[in-house]
């Protein structure tokens, strides 16, 4: 079987080596398409692939139409909003993700960005500390849980809201569970977003919600840009000079946000999962899942059931 890694944002070399070892040990072959700039390159590369490993790369209907031999696509990572699941199903392709494999990397970035934010982007002026601040975690999944663990080490008071996770699971992690996302924003100095981009969450982080943050509040997004209502957040930042917005996903309206100098920061390219460890964990998990699928039809991590 031919396994193709197609990553516009490449894995660390050690991750590619690890994937290659897994794939070849099972008698499959590995092909690599990295840093591609045109969709046509992807469409060409998938033509004879039996399995596909991607990151945030878009696997849309065109990709499934072009990939005549494709049986499985694995998103090496958590969020699979980049895969057209209906198109995958229509082409009898199993779509999977690798939950949890890169979550520590994203969580570490959250705390790193927060230190940067409360120290005024290291501009030399006196800033503040995270210790004692109230941190709200929106969605207590793999990343949210890691953020909670690290934030407690900083001495932060940690709150969380998750529509699907029982309160007792949150409380057992030493985190205060609140009843709604409104309550989370109302109670906290900082809110960190860890919700997926779904029809329900898209544009859900809006003026009314973020306006509930305490004075001097920070909104930090390492999830997806689609969950932010950008025009409303821009309006709010214009009205409330005490607020900061920190993001690992460059907004559509980056130029408008950039006007809030000293209160807005975006990474140039999504950096959350950009560590060797996260790449190795997620990449090798993807390779193992593909091996198990071809060896015995294992579909444990299938997301298009
Ligand atoms: C994920 O959903 O796993 C993260 O957002 C990381 O995405 P990336 O692999 O494109 O960096």
Q: Which residues of 218-245 are buried (b: 16+ CB within 10 A; e: fewer)?
A: bbbbbbbbbbbbbebbbebbeeeeebbb
Sign of CA dihedral 14, 17, 19, 21: negative
Q: Does ligand 1 lie within 6 Å of residue 97's CB atom?
A: no
Say what the pLDDT of residue 54 is: 99
| Confidence (pLDDT) at 151 | 98
Q: In sequence order, what E strands does the chain have?
A: 2-7, 29-34, 51-54, 72-75, 94-97, 134-138, 157-161, 176-177, 190-193, 218-221, 244-247, 264-266
CA distances from 97 to 94, 127, 264, 302 (A): 10, 39, 31, 7
Query: In a 3-state reduction of DSSP, which class is residue 289?
Result: helix
How far is it, in rounded angstroms, from Cα 150 to Cα 195? 19
Tell me what pLDDT residue 99 has: 98
**Spans in the chain with pLDDT lower than 70:** none
Distance 163 CA to ligand 1 centre (A): 22
What residue's CA is closest to ligand 1, atom 11? 273
CATH number of this structure's domain 2-101+275-296: 3.40.50.720
Report pLDDT for 135: 99
In this prediction, residue 167 carries a pLDDT of 97
pLDDT of residue 32: 98
56 lines ligand 1 (CB under 6 A): yes
99 CB within 6 A, ligand 1: no
| Gap from CA of 269 to ligand 1 centroid (Å) | 11
Residue 48 has a pLDDT of 98
Select 124-261's CATH number: 3.40.50.720, 3.90.550.10, 2.60.40.10, 3.40.50.300: 3.40.50.720
Domain coordinates of the chain in residue numbers?
A: 2-101+275-296, 124-261
pLDDT for res 177? 98
- pTM exceeding the 0.95 threshold for the entire prediction: yes
Measure Cα distances from 222 to 19, 29, 33, 89 in Å.
26, 34, 26, 29
pLDDT score at 85: 98
7 Cβ inside 6 Å of ligand 1: no
**The pLDDT of residue 78:** 98
Q: Do domains 2-101+275-296 and 124-261 have the same CATH topology?
A: yes
pLDDT score at 209: 98
């Amino acid at each position: 079987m031919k396994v193709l890694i197609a990553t516009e944002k490449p894995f660390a070399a050690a991750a590619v080596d690890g994937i290659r070892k897994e794939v070849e040990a099972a008698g499959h072959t590995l092909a690599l398409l990295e840093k591609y700039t045109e969709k046509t390159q992807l469409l060409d590369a998938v033509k004879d692939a039996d399995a596909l490993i991607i990151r945030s790369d878009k696997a849309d209907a065109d990709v499934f139409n072009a990939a005549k031999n494709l049986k499985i696509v694995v998103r090496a990572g958590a969020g699979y909003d980049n895969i057209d699941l209906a198109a995958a199903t229509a082409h009898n392709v199993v779509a999977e993700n690798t939950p949890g494999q890169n979550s520590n990397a994203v969580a570490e970035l959250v705390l790193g960005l927060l230190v940067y934010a409360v120290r005024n982007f290291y501009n030399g002026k006196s800033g503040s500390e995270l210790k004692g601040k109230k941190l709200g975690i929106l969605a207590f999944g793999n990343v949210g849980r890691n953020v909670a663990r690290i934030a407690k080490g900083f001495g932060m008071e940690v709150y969380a809201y998750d529509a699907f996770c029982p309160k007792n699971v949150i409380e057992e992690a030493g985190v205060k569970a609140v009843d709604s996302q409104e309550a989370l924003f109302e109670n906290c100095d900082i809110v960190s977003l860890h919700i997926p981009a779904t029809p329900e969450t898209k544009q859900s982080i809006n003026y009314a919600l973020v306006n509930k943050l305490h004075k001097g509040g920070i909104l930090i997004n390492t999830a997806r840009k689609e969950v932010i209502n950008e025009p409303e957040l821009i309006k709010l930042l214009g009205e409330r000079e005490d607020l900061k917005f920190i993001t690992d996903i460059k907004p559509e309206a980056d130029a408008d946000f950039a006007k809030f100098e000293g209160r807005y920061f975006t990474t140039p390219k999504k950096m959350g999962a950009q560590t060797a460890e996260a790449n190795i964990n997620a990449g090798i998990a993807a390779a193992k899942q593909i091996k198990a699928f071809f060896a015995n039809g294992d579909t444990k991590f299938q997301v298009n059931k």
